[in-house]
Structure 1
Amino acid sequence: MQQTPPPAPPLAGRRILLVVSGGIAAYKTPDLVRRLRERGAAVRVVLTGGGERFVTPLALQAVSEDTVYRDLWSLTDESAMGHIQLSRQADLVLVAPATANILARMAHGLADDLASTVLLATDKPVLVAPAMNVRMYEHPATRANLDLLAARGVGIIGPDDGAMACGEYGPGRMVEPLAIADHLIAWFAQRDAPRPLAGRHALVTSGPTHEAIDPVRYIANRSSGKQGHAVAAALAALGARVTLVSGPVRLTDPAGVTVVPVETAAEMLAACRAALPADIFVAAAAVADWRVDGAAEQKLKKDGGGPPALRLAENPDILATLSAPGPERPALVIGFAAETNDVQTYARAKRQRKGCDWIVANDVSPATGTFGGDRNSVHVIRADGQEDIWTDLPKTEVAARLATAIVDHFGNGKI
């Protein structure tokens, strides 16, 4: 009787480049290498000077059964541009532990040692497992660096809460090797899974518009663009080709997304029309309702005669225009309704008035901190009467749930 061969290990054939930076958690990396190799991965290590203070190259070489790379200026390794080869030969680059220092260097594109040069030169996915003192982790500079890296598509594993070598307690502990190995298994499984929106074009608007009063002043609103950018990133992650038409924001462009920067509502409408045809349109931008009719060509001055009279004209209605029946109308049109009171009532009326399929209503009254913040609470109202309520979630999670709902919509046979 022929025996069935055992199943392949979950990371069989995967090539992982492990960058070990200089934190106390580096002492766990020999165990991490061992766990990854037990699961079938081939692991090659880049060790920083700081990392070498906590773990020896010999230990990492013994468990990886491969050369440990340390020196950007190595005559032998760099004779064939070794840092470029290292950065391209792996399926995934993992930085563990990822100290505050190496995260800052990654965020700002520094490249003056082997590890930072490899990270800047790689064209492969990068995951980081942060490890540092809780105060360092919670410092605004570190948080900003992590946000910037996440916006560029870098995956973040952890950190965990717990006691630290310095005696403090809180978030900042590197995730344990077994959990990192499990995360990588799940990451590869998700990457290799079918991309349910592949072949579909999604058009997303984001941010405010700026309507000129004169060359130095404008009418706008408080939108940060965080929710619209998160929606674009979530749709791209599910395989859609995404065009993001964005008003002026202070955000990094989402990875894998085509960004069209605009300033005014008229420019936004023109860019949306130019991007058609699209299967999906998500109008997340907070477009100014009015513009100044005949903006001044020179700066308006105070001359003692009182403020100038501003004559306003109505801006084009982007959502209603793209919702209108016609051959280029996207199959699914989703609007956003930012309200400060009677949120659901106004949103239902707006959906009918604009002709869109769904409306995502959120409360942007000052007490909520929605405008400019990182969290949101929304009602998703659909033409068939179905409503979903998602309360106090990160904007990235709201985006992920909306993207999943879009997948379900098309999966139910909707064209």
Structure 2
Amino acid sequence: MTTPLDTTVAAKGYMSGFGNGFETEALPGALPVGRNSPQRCAYGLYAEQLSGSPFTAPRATNERSWLYRIRPTVKHWGRFTKADIGLWRTAPCHEHDTPIAPMRWSPIPMPSESVSFLEGVRTITTAGDADSRNGMAAHLYFITRSMTDECFYNGDGEMLFVPQEGALRLRTEFGIVEVSPGEIAVVPRGVKFRVELIGGPARGYLCENYGAALTLPERGPIGANCLANPRDFHTPVAAYEDVDAKTAMYVKWGGALWVTELEHSPLDVVAWHGNYAPYKYDLRRFSPVGPLLFDHADPSIFTTLTSGSETPGTANLDFVIFPDRWAVAENTFRPPWYHMNIMSEFMGLIYGAYDAKPQGFTPGGFSLHNAMLPHGPDAEAFEGASNAKLEPRKLENTMAFMFETRLPQRVTRYAAELSELQQGYVDCWKGLEKRFDPTRR
């Protein structure tokens, strides 16, 4: 029997909150009451636990969900064969020796050929070692066709989608997540899903996090409010497919892509409860804080999500955004200062302009400023900020972001050989002339 997805549940929907325990069912009574694995589940379903952390992890970091599905995942299995992973790379990846330097790329055009999500991932940098659950990779994705009769899960890491052009529908085993430019979506490690287009072709940025799951950063002295607030994160309600049709099941595991053929859809979870699930967030709901009198504050005040490491205060990965905000500091050089940093920064621009790089950094473009390599405002930004009238100014219609990690990011051969790599990027600082005069204070 085949039941179309959209007649199985009344409507798509979301639950609010981050890191909470959720429960949702697409059929009344599908969730067992008071127990996780009853002797016989309602509707003939199977109980299955999906764990995103070790069983004995402390309660605050223990992540798991109970799924009540038509078939257990062991039935979503078969004889896997290796598939072509294309331009997707996994750390460690040392396939190209790139001279050390700040690097920047212009936007890459949308491909003219038909490419699904799995065919359209292009790795720019890798860091760490996926097998040791440490590090990340920064990718681009290009999609001109929806996945059909195909599903996928990533066994190497969780996936942070940052759309830049075009909207996506992520049909996951937990429910449906739709995400557009200005929003992000996170699919945890091991969660099955299919990527579909909503409208025309889509492209964007993708961060594959090998380390600890992304979570909200501590606010410290900021207190209980501002930055990203838990209520603005949305998790899908249950939706399922009872489809008996051939489906290609792809799995990324150990840096390779594997595929098997199923006789049914694996997106068959009728009900679930727990705290390990996909979610989305509208970046425009971020409530920024900043300097109200003088000095340019560290960019960590814009941290939206973080993946911790074994070293307190040092992130395996930070997702940082630069949204609309007011600049009001007095007697202050307001753009980011010149700096060298132990962290390495992959930066992208979703829309608008970035105040520290008014030229050459355009929506869809990206840059890499690696660990202990100098960077900062270009000559034009320096002159403008040094001589600007320091009155309150609102930065509007802008959304830049950064994937920041404690690990050096290694550039792939694909990225190093792109014609969009701006060979003259370092020239943006040529206009910074010697200004020192010991006779003039």
- The alignment's TM-score, normalised by the length of structure 2, stands at 0.22
Name the larger-Rg structure: 1
Specify which structure has the higher proportion of strand: 2
- The alignment's TM-score, normalised by the length of structure 1, stands at 0.23
